[in-house]
């Protein structure tokens, strides 16, 4: 008996397979990207290959994330908030607050007993999401994944005066040409984003333990800046990208077991791996 969680984020697509006891069999990540929107099935195929399974070996599949409605092979769609909460508390049972910073939004969640109790999120303004770092990294000519390392060398933080990502993009280039050190600018960018996320989290009220997830949690400089902004310790999973997919796989198992116990209808087989797109035909 095997279960799958598929998390289609704005930037990355994540697929995770578990067995009956919840052991991870494989996790595969691929960029969602503008041109890679049909990637869910490809990522799924790779995950199956790695676990040496066929699609019909999977008992139940839960899709989550921004693109969850367009995963044709999924049995159920569940919001990323519920999946993240479930995934985080399975990794850190002591977690009471989870902050997930993705490429398109930032979510702060309160968790009780593995369940989401309340949340606040920002998906209105790019300056409060990972996109802020993505855009400014491009402007600075550095890789997003190198930002953390670079910022740790900073002797000081340059304050970024513009809130808007579009204006900040211009500002960082101007700062560079004025001779400011790259690492100090990057540290300033982290500080600016961390300050905004911390303000969002305070609206919800931070309760410890606090877990940081999402692609931005892979940035050590951002984790440091978040600790400073919030003034508390932060737990980061080994693989901060996959908590949503993990939660989805756990929920898949729970739903399946409940259905079996209640004698309800189970997903029809055989399944087919089809192209997943973000915008199905009827939406056009």
Partner 1 sequence: MSWFMGVDIGSAHSKGVITRDSELAASHIIISGANYRTSAETIRTELVTKVNVTQSDIANTVATGSGADNVHFASQKASDIVCTARGINNVFPQARTVIDVASQSTRVIRLNEKGIVTNFTVSEKCAAGGGRFIEVIANVLRISLSDFSQLAARSRSPITFSTGCAVFGESEAITRISEGIPKEDIAAGVNKALASTISSLVKKLKLEEPCAVCGGGALNTALVKTIETELNTSLLIPPQPQLIAALGAAIIAATPPTSQSRKET
Question: Which range touches partner 1 (CB under 8 A), out of 45-53, 71-79, 125-133, 228-236?
Answer: 125-133
As a whole number of Å, the end-to-end CA separation of the chain is: 38
Question: Which range touches partner 1 (CB under 8 A), out of 91-99, 163-171, 227-235, 266-274?
Answer: 163-171
Residue 89 interacting with partner 1 (CB under 8 A)? no
Question: Which range touches partner 1 (CB under 8 A), out of 61-69, 82-90, 127-135, 197-205?
Answer: 127-135
220 or 277: CB nearest partner 1: 277
Residue 135 interacting with partner 1 (CB under 8 A)? yes
Residue 160 interacting with partner 1 (CB under 8 A)? no
Q: Which residues of 57-68 are buried (b: 16+ CB within 10 A; e: fewer)?
A: ebbbbbbbbbbb
Contact criterion met (CB below 8 Å) for 215 and 129: no
Question: Which residue, 77, 129, 91, is CA-closest to 107?
Answer: 129
Question: Which residue, 252, 276, 245, is CA-closest to 70?
Answer: 276
What is the DSSP pairing of strand 58-64 with strand 24-31?
A: unpaired
Residue 199 interacting with partner 1 (CB under 8 A)? no
Residue 34 interacting with partner 1 (CB under 8 A)? yes
127 or 230: CB nearest partner 1: 127
96 or 131: CB nearest partner 1: 131
Size of the site for partner 1 (CB under 8 A): 20
Residue 177 interacting with partner 1 (CB under 8 A)? yes
Q: Which residues of 91-123 are buried (b: 16+ CB within 10 A; e: fewer)?
A: bbeebbbbbbbbbbbbbbbbbeeeebeebebbe
Query: Mapping DSSP to helix (H, G, I), strand (E, B) and coil, where does residue 219 land?
Result: coil
Least separation in angstroms between CB 27 and partner 1? 26
Question: Which residue, 262, 222, 241, is CA-closest to 65?
Answer: 241
Write out the DSSP string of 55-120: GGGEEEEEEESTTGGG-TT-SEE--HHHHHHHHHHHH-TT--EEEEE-SS-EEEEEEETTEEEEEE
Least separation in angstroms between CB 35 and partner 1? 8
The crossing angle, in degrees rounded to 10, of helices 220-230 and 182-204 is 50
- H or E element at residue 89: helix 80-91
Least separation in angstroms between CB 188 and partner 1? 17
Residue 104 interacting with partner 1 (CB under 8 A)? yes
Residue 107 interacting with partner 1 (CB under 8 A)? no
Here the tokens at position 105 are 């939004």
Task: By CB under 8 A, name the one of 124, 159, 261, 268 that touches partner 1.
Answer: 124
Question: Which range touches partner 1 (CB under 8 A), out of 159-167, 199-207, 241-249, 253-261?
Answer: 159-167
Task: By CB under 8 A, name the one of 152, 164, 208, 266 that touches partner 1.
Answer: 164
Q: Which residues bind partner 1 (CB under 8 A)?
A: 10, 34, 104, 124-127, 131, 135, 162-167, 174, 177, 278-279, 284
């Amino acid at each position: 008996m095997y279960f799958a969680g598929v998390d289609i984020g704005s930037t990355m697509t994540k697929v995770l397979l578990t067995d009956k006891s919840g052991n991870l069999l494989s996790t595969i990540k691929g960029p969602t990207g503008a041109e890679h929107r049909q990637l869910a099935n490809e990522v799924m195929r790779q995950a199956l290959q790695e676990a040496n399974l066929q699609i019909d070996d999977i008992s139940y599949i839960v899709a989550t994330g921004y693109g969850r409605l367009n995963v044709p092979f999924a049995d159920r769609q569940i919001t990323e908030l519920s999946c993240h909460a479930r995934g985080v508390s399975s990794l850190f049972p002591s977690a009471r607050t989870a902050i997930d910073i993705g490429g398109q939004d930032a979510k702060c969640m309160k968790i009780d007993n593995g369940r989401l109790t309340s949340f606040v999120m920002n998906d209105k303004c790019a300056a409060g999401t990972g996109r802020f770092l993505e855009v400014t990294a491009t402007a600075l000519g550095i890789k997003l994944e190198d930002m953390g390392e670079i910022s740790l060398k900073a002797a000081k933080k340059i304050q970024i005066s513009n809130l808007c990502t579009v204006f900040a993009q211009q500002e960082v280039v101007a700062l560079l040409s004025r001779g400011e050190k790259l690492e100090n600018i990057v540290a300033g960018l982290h500080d600016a984003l961390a300050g905004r996320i911390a303000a969002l989290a305070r609206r919800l009220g931070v309760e410890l333990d606090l877990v940081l997830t999402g692609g931005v949690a892979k940035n050590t400089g951002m984790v440091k800046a978040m600790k400073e902004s919030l003034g508390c310790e932060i737990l980061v999973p080994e693989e901060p990208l996959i908590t949503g997919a993990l939660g989805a796989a756990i929920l898949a198992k729970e739903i399946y077991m409940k259905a079996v116990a209640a004698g309800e209808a189970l997903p029809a087989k055989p399944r087919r791996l089809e192209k997943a797109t973000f915008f199905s035909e009827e939406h056009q």
